[in-house]
């Protein structure tokens, strides 16, 4: 029961977070590290990936691939989390301690996704 509740929560969270890249792209543009090229494209591409992987988690046939994709996505967007902490002002007015706490939180998100990498 908890396995599936957690799975569907994760799937919905990634799906809605991905959709939010299109509803509010400027929010994501603010946290895009300046050394990355084509920031607008990357915001939309990560939104497609996040929403698509979230949707793919709902289906047993694509669940394992989606979980591995989420792990890759979390690793790929980690520089944005570091940049949020370094820049501070890019972080939507969040306190520094919350931004610092967000960094190890990524490990928990990786572990959560890893649970679903096995059929």
Domain boundaries, the chain: 2-117
Check residues 34 and 61 and name the one with the higher pLDDT.
Answer: 61
Residue 113 confidence (pLDDT): 98
> Mean pLDDT across the stretch 49-57?
99
Lookup result for tokens 């996040």: 50
> Mean pLDDT across the stretch 72-80?
94
Contact by Cβ (8 Å): 29, 40? yes
Concatenated DSSP letters of 40-55: HHHHHHHHHHHHHHHH
Give me Rg for the CA atoms of the chain.
15
- Report the number of secondary-structure helices (H) and strands (E) in the chain: 5, 0
């Amino acid at each position: 029961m908890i396995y599936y509740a957690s799975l569907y929560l994760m799937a919905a969270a990634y799906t809605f977070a991905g959709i939010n890249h299109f509803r509010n792209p400027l929010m994501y543009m603010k946290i895009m590290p300046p050394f990355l090229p084509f920031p607008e494209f990357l915001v939309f591409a990560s939104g497609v990936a996040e929403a698509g992987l979230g949707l793919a988690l709902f289906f047993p046939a694509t669940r394992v691939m989606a979980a591995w994709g989420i792990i890759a996505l979390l690793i790929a967007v980690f520089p944005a989390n570091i940049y949020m902490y370094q820049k501070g002002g890019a972080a939507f007015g969040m306190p520094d301690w919350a931004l610092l706490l967000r960094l190890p939180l990524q490990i928990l998100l990786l572990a959560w996704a890893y649970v679903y990498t096995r059929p």
